[in-house]
Amino acid sequence: MRLPVLCGGLAVAFAAGLFAARLVPPADAQPAPQPLTPRIVNVMTMTDEEIGPLVNNTDLRSRLLVSSPHGTIAVQSGNVLKHFHADADEIQLILDGAGSFWLGDREVQVQRGDLVIIPRGTHHAGSRATTGRFRALAIKLPPQRPDDTHPVP
């Protein structure tokens, strides 16, 4: 008598776990994309404080501007350590600042107006501004998962 009750209880618990897993998103899930709304955002006049606080004790500030299931767009100010993304391509439009930027295995010079194309898996950043502070529009395709920033020594 106890064995059928125990087996039935396990089956109910297993089914409840499957159901709950579909209702609760994983802890590292990105926020649900918000519907796009028509608007104009002047990223050139944003102050660092408007862009946001420093990210993870680095010199980087970032503000998400657009989020869709297909990609994200953020404005970034400052510098980030050299890293790569395994599952997201990145495109950066340099809005302000000039200096060096790691792209793959070489250090290149970038300036305002440069479009930097960073395929997934490519080491990048670790920049050193020689004039002003770097500010860029960063586009990630598809949206970058929160755990998809891999530091590079």
Q: Is residue 39 part of a domain?
A: no
Note whether residue 128 is domain-resident: yes
Please give the tally of structural domains in the chain: 1
The whole-chain average pLDDT of the chain stands at 80
Q: CA 8 to CA 132: how far, in whole Å?
A: 67
Judge whether 106 and 151 are in contact, CB under 8 Å: no
Q: DSSP letter for 24, please.
A: S
Helix (H) or strand (E) holding 98: strand 89-103
Note down the domain range covering 124.
Answer: 48-151
Whether residue 35 is contained in a domain is answered as no
Give the Cα separation of 71 and 141 in Å (integer): 5
Instruction: Kindly state whether residue 81 falls inside one of the protein's structural domains.
Output: yes
30 within some domain:
no
Asked, for residue 121, whether it belongs to a domain, the answer is: yes
Percent of the chain with pLDDT strictly greater than 90: 52
pLDDT of 88-101, one tens digit each?
Answer: 999 999 999 999 99
pLDDT in tens, 46-88: 999 999 999 887 888 999 999 999 999 999 999 888 999 999 9
Residue 107 lies in a domain: yes
Q: Say if 7 falls within a structural domain.
A: no
**CATH, residue 103:** 2.60.120.10
